[in-house]
Amino acid sequence: MAQCGTARTSAQLRGDRNEVATWTISFSTMNYHPSYLSPASTLGVDQAMETETIRKMRNYFDAIRKLNSTQTGFALLRERKRLNHSINASAVDQMRKWVQCLGYSISDLDRLNIVHVGGTKGKGTACAYVNSILQKYRQSCGVPRKIGLYTSPHLITVRERIQINSEPISEEKFAKYFFETWDALETSGRNDGLDPVPKPPYFRFLTLMSFHVFLSEGVDTAIYEVGVGGEFDSTNIIEKPVATGITTLGIDHVAVLGDTIEEIAWHKAGIFKRGCPAYTVPQLPHAMEVLKKRAIEKGVNLNVARNFSVLDNINIKPAEHFQKKNASLAIILASIVLKKLGIATNCIPDTLPDQFIQGLENLVWRGRCETLTNRQQSWYLDGAHTRESLELACSWFGRVSRPSMLCFAPISHTKAGPTILLCPPEFVNKNIDPDTLQTLTLQKELATTWQGLDPCTEVASLPSIEDAIDYVRSISGRNCAEQEALIFVTGSFHLVGDLSEGVNSWIFSDLAKLLKVIRGRLLEAWHNCPELKFRTPYQSSQVPPYVITDLFF
């Protein structure tokens, strides 16, 4: 088993996180915005050029740098935990004020025809299923016209969280809408002679920005995944969702939501809205009791989404019971949205329209029961991070019996139970104690614990994703020469995201090496066989047949 002490190293080598670090100019004291520039400006030439330079440099990477500055930080998180600080209704009230700073009313969100989904396990997958089904109707019927999807966390780039028609918004649009949101908050208080409104923390800022993106882009249907809990989550300013759904509940975010299933169910049911359809998958009795009680309090008729028998004949990936529960909930939620948009569906337990079947079968949801394969290894990746979700992920992986390895690095290490080995990863953000990253003390202690539980298992505590991948390669080459090795990666989406990127880079690297070998042999053959000729439409001279591979190097 390989433990990863720093699960963000791959991301630091590529993508938006590392590129942010290359920017050294700070704009924290500047308040320029493209809208302030005017052809009739009386600025001097030098000042105008400086302003134009600043405007051009407010690009995607600067947006990411500023966004990362909104993260809470380990020291503050530790102090909040010491003071037993938890979220409450004031968080939602503040979110409403931020929306108003952007010039919107809460009722403006009703134009988005929002499907709101909460839960512990599978809420992101259920959202993705709803989105995939609606995309098939958009392609075949033209309705909905634009579909927004807001989920978390992201695996590789933060733009994954805000999608329109199944595509993350572009870097240009991300920067545009980020700075429009940022500047609106900066100027809101100043216009009244007050200090600027405090910036929302990371997730709340992105939620706020997503509303701005979807409303500005003319989205007519949006699917929103709850961040944490429900009652006090930043997404819960939505007053009139088209439908709400609750996926399987379990123990998670105990520092915020409580450490019992009843407390957690109370928070999750907070997204129910009077007069709006509400559905849940089957739950544990105590959790279901709380959901029903909360539904009555909120004037909601709560329904249970039973599994559709037709799913037994559909290629759901993975073909597990928990995934069919997510799909069944998504079928109902998508049907409600389509009905609101004027499209009748005939969804009964043993029959589904083609668009539903295609949407369910064609879904690709990265980091959830995902498999990556190359010549010697198959990597099984799942971002499971609770006891319940880890059990399901293990059930999925446990169907194979060949030589296998585990890369495990969960985020939470509180009240998770004594049977789960814990190894928190490094974030590119500031939410983890930096001392543990330097010494790997916790990782080494847990490696010792694991070794004691299973003395026959080889255990290694490694400082980075790259080291973990190299370690797996060496082990699989040594012990699994005759058959492919299976590597199970789980514990957090942060680990899964960065490791999947690292594995993909590694696979491409192997391909590049292979192409170099092929190129070399073709070159040798060309030199050894002068009669070998390659004619192009543009010239008649001899051209080495390997030249196309030069484009890769």
Q: Which residues define the annotated binding site for ATP?
A: 368, 382
List, in order, residues 6 or more apart from 7 with CB less than 8 Å away: 409, 425, 426, 427, 465, 492, 494, 495, 498, 499
Q: How many CB atoms lie within 10 A of CB 100?
A: 14
Q: Are 406 and 496 in contact (CB under 8 A)?
A: no
SS3 366: coil
CA distances to 78, 406, 488, 513 from 472, rounded to whole Å, are: 34, 9, 11, 19
Q: Which residues define the annotated binding site for Mg(2+)?
A: 152, 225, 253
SS3 36: helix
What's 138's DSSP letter?
H
Q: Are 21 and 479 in contact (CB under 8 A)?
A: no
- DSSP, residue by residue, 386-427: SHHHHHHHHHHHTT--SSEEEEE--S--SSS-TTS---PPPP
Question: Between β-strands 167-168 and 162-164, what pairing exists: parallel, antiparallel or unpaired?
Answer: antiparallel
Rounded to a whole number of angstroms, the distance between the first and last alpha carbons of the chain is: 35
CA 110 to CA 217: how far, in whole Å?
15
CA 11 to CA 300: how far, in whole Å?
44
CA 422 to CA 486: how far, in whole Å?
21
Q: Which residues define the annotated binding site?
A: 152, 225, 253, 368, 382
CA 351 to CA 310: how far, in whole Å?
6
